[in-house]
Amino acid sequence: MKLEQLDDQRWEIAREGGMRVPGIVYASRAMMQELRDEPALGQVANVAHLPGIVRASLAMPDIHWGYGFPIGGVAAVDEAEGVVSPGGVGYDINCGVRLMTTKLVVDELRPRLRALAEALQRDIPAGVGERSRAVGTLDAGETRRVLQNGAAWAVERGFGCAGDLERTEEGGRLEWAEPERVSETALRRGGDQVGTLGSGNHFIEIDRVDEIFDAGRARAFGLFSGQLCLMIHSGSRGLGYQVCDDNLAAMDAAMARYGIAVPDRQLACAPIGSPEGSRYLGAMAAAANFAWANRQTMMGLAQRALARVLAISDAELGAALLWDVCHNIAKRERHVVDGREQPLLVHRKGATRAFGPGAAELPAAYRDVGQPVMIPGDMGRASYVLCGTARAMSDTFGSSCHGAGRVLGRRAALRQAKGRRIDLELRAQGIEVLSRAVKTLAEEMPEAYKDVSQVVDVMHDAGITTKVARLKPVAVVKG
Amino acid sequence: MKIEAPIEYRELDHTADVAIEVDGAVEEEVYARAALALGQMLAGGGPLTQAVERTLEPAGHDRVSQLIGLLRDVLAAFYDERLILSAIDVRLGPPFAATGWFCHWDPARHGEGVDVKAVTYGGARFEPKGGGWSARLIFDI
């Protein structure tokens, strides 16, 4: 593989073999030293083989080894001639992040942080096999209504308010969802999971606004120094996984019929307009709506938990959704390629939409400043609020990174954590951490991730997303 | 040939998820060991009894897709019925099929289990090795 440095933040993987476009990787020199021997770079090249891909196979600086696509990958394909690949979306369809702001100041609540975390852990089920308590088990008909209506389904049931919808990507609902494309197995997997966090790297985190970099945008986003915010990272749970599985198998079997050859079976794909492609996109959009309903429900539960523990009114809490982004999705968007605006299907696998100022898709409150982009880090260091730019629109199909990106495998993390109490180490730093599974804390310890500040700096220096605020975790609930 | 848990398998380094490798003298043994490795991960070291018997008829058009189909059926039993595979008898057929014996998931005894969410095609292999057979898989967790 021929890798050439283009500038301080970008590297090009030259076209060779069956690659239809080059690969472009955003990374600092130090990051690239670590990446050189990783399978992830080969995956960037593999994605460049997809029929209909335009301009480049992109990778953000949180790139790491995924299935088929690397995590942190972006691929836009021509909507008329291109393919859709479930591997370019990932298993956890519409895994994403939402950030809720409040009127509260963290430093006035430090003695209550553990009680707040315990209430969040109690009210929002997390971990293997946990079922929804607040919503219960939905039958297939009601689950289909979730798949059709997305976040609005949760708002109608008293979780959050209508104003939350306009501060959610796509209004919390992809209108081209086709719930009838979702299998009975997927419906069963999701039926008892609305309002559940999941496990692994999913979390609910209470943050303190630690530093403001851009006062104007911070004001527009409702952020102030010292503020208590709440971040939720979760997705479409078992339902999304099943949708991905069902369609990967169908596409794996169908590729030969369409004369498509890809270097990795996990890149299984089908023409967008084919029966297999249409079926997947309809089901994927439905699963995305499920994820928005799930995060909306959890935010509603979190609001109630905070108000109850602190014995304050909703008005005193002042909870407001800043923004909700998805970072595992394929979206129909229009972008300029070779000087011509054209309809594309943009796959973002561990990458966040980051539209710049003026984008018609943004709500009025953010249209002049650009789209908020939330980047969770690890549970010990920081998370960031960024803002999309015009440069993102021209260079990355309006996309940015999605997180810190793992640097240690889970086994390596467990080895490094042996004999340590990660929860006590973090408490000594003023961070309360709760998890039902002891192993999760070791697997998710801060050293297992890249320093999110370095990841964010690459995007900032490249002009793709600019820094608005840094958040520091003060209480974390893991699955 | 019925094979019961616990079995030996190798866990390989992977940045974000879990990769495993299993060997067997014959193909049936590789399928069985891979399926049981998944059961053991879900059980998290908890006890594995044989309380429920199920016939599995996974889809698949070659060794890799049959292997992934089998493990997806094992995972579906966990998500649908909270059942963990504890023993299995694989028949190459045709048709490719298996009889699985499962225990009921118990949060008190299987609480340290790995939350395996999917069996992936990423880097999946099923190939001859040293006179026998070997398979490699990555699980999304």
Choose the weakest-confidence range: A121-135, A235-249, A335-349.
Answer: A121-135
Q: How far apart are CA A323 and CA A341, in angstroms?
A: 27
Q: What integer best gives the mean pLDDT of chain A?
A: 95
Helix axes A140-149, A275-310, angle to 10 degrees: 90
Rg of chain B, C-alpha, whole Å = 14
What would the pLDDT profile of A292-330 be if each residue is shown by its tens digit? 999 999 999 999 999 999 999 999 999 999 999 999 999
A chain contacts of residue B58, beta-carbon cutoff 8 Å = none
pTM: 0.93
A47, A69 in Cβ contact below 8 A? yes
Residue type, B107: P
Closest Cα in chain A to B58: A249
Q: Per the CB < 8 Å rule, is B69 touching A408?
A: no
What's the rounded Cα separation, in Å, for the pair B52 and B105? 12
Tokens standing for A395? Answer: 């260079």
Nearest residue in chain B measured CA to CA from A193? B79
Residue A412 has pLDDT above 90, yes or no: no
Count of CB atoms situated within 10 Å of the CB of A360: 7
The pLDDT of residue A414 is 87
Pairwise CA distance, residues A127 & A198, whole Å: 5
- Interface contact B112-A200, CB threshold 8 A: no
Chain A residues near residue B118 by CB distance under 8 angstroms: 91, 241, 244-245
Q: Are B139 and B18 in contact (CB under 8 A)?
A: yes
The single residue listed with the structure tokens 């939402």 is A98
H or E segment and range at residue B71: helix B63-81
- Which of B41, B68, B117 should one mutate to test binding to chain A, selecting the residue with the greatest count of A CBs within 10 A? B117
User: What does chain A come to in residues?
Assistant: 479
Count Cα atoms within 13 angstroms, Cβ side, for A281: 22
Q: Structure tokens of B3?
A: 């094979």
Backbone torsions φ then ψ of A433, nearest 5 degrees: -125, 130
- The span from the CA of A237 to the CA of A291, in Å, is 7
Answer whether A244 sits within 8 Å of B118, measured CB to CB: yes
Task: Give B138's contacts in chain A (Cβ within 8 Å).
Answer: 67
pLDDT in tens, A23-71: 999 999 999 998 988 889 999 999 999 999 999 999 999 999 888 899 9
Would you state the pLDDT for residue A130?
Answer: 76
Minimal CA separation from B59 to chain A, in Å:
9
Q: CB count, 10 Å around CB of A337?
A: 14
With CB atoms and an 8 Å threshold, state whether B115 touches A198: yes
A105-154: pLDDT as tens digits: 999 999 999 999 999 999 999 877 778 888 999 999 999 999 999 999 99
User: Of A65, A268, A436, which has the smallest distance from its Cβ to B15's Cβ?
Assistant: A65
Complex ipTM > 0.90: no
Nearest Cα of chain A lies from the Cα of B17 at a distance, in angstroms, of 7
Tokens describing residue A285 = 């959009």
A440 vs A151, more confident: A151
CA dist list (Å): A235 to A62, A169, A271, A422, B10: 19, 14, 26, 26, 30
Amino acid letter, B100: G
pLDDT lower than 50: segments of chain B: none
The secondary structure of chain B in percent helix, strand, coil, rounded to multiples of 5, reads 30, 40, 30
A284-302 per-position pLDDT tens digit: 999 999 999 999 999 999 9
**Distance between A116 CA and the closest CA of chain B, angstroms:** 24
Across-strand partners of B102? B52, B85
Q: Facing residues of A344 across strands? A: A78, A333
Contact A245 B115 (CB under 8 A): no
CB-CB contact of A475 with A117 (8 Å): yes
The C-alpha angle B61, B65, B71, rounded to 5 degrees, equals 130
Within 8 A of A72 by CB-CB distance, chain B residues are none
User: Quick one: B79 exposed, middle or buried, by C-beta within 10 A (0-12, 13-18, 19+)?
Assistant: buried
Residue A408, phi then psi, degrees to nearest 5? -115, 135
Chain A closest CA to B126's CA: distance in Å?
13
Are β-strands B52-56 and B83-91 bridged in parallel, bridged antiparallel, or unpaired? unpaired
Query: What single DSSP character describes residue A448?
Result: G
Residue type for A7, please? D
pLDDT digits (tens, 9 = 90+) for B4-35: 999 999 998 777 788 999 999 999 999 999 99
CB contact under 8 A, B16 and A406: yes
Token code pair at residue A300: 């509603």
**Nearest residue in A to B124, CA atom:** A265
Is-catalytic flag, A402?
A: yes
B59: which chain A residues are within 8 Å (Cβ-Cβ)? Answer: 249
Task: Kindly give, in sequence order, each residue whose CB lies less than 8 Å from that of residue A394, ignoring residues fewer than 6 positions away.
Answer: A336
